[in-house]
Amino acid sequence: MLIRGKFNLYPGLYEPAIAALDGVAEAAIVGVPDPETGDEQVVLAVVGDAAGLARRLPGVIDHDALPDRIVELPELPRSGRGRKLDRERLRALVGGAREAGG
């Protein structure tokens, strides 16, 4: 869970809806520290085409769940036998990644 003001953001509630959008194969939401403010940024990582995704998200997810940044990756990091999403590795990957075109 990520806390954004008074809003509790549960990534698992929004990731399937985002992944169901045309051009998006997978989606994951993580929080990463903002190096300038120290606050937590909400980052959406997608496998697929992130072009124009920021414009489509308001019709799919709650306004308070909209990401601060969208990052396109070739794949999401996975670990273990079940190939579970490794959110810690994902945070490290997107922490310094550049934002995808919107």
DSSP state of 63: G
Condensed to tens digits (0 to 9), the pLDDT of residues 31-41 reads 998 777 777 89
In terms of Cβ atoms closer than 10 Å to its own Cβ (0-12, 13-18, 19+), residue 91 is: middle
Q: What are the CA-CA distances from residue 23 to residues 10, 18, 46, 55 (Å)?
A: 23, 10, 10, 14
Q: Is the pLDDT score of 101 beyond 70?
A: no
Whole-number pLDDT of residue 95: 87
Condensed to tens digits (0 to 9), the pLDDT of residues 47-69 reads 999 999 999 999 999 999 999 99
Whole-number pLDDT of residue 35: 74
CA separation for the pair 70, 25 (Å, rounded): 14
Higher-pLDDT residue of 1, 96: 1
Tokens of residue 66, six digits: 């909209």
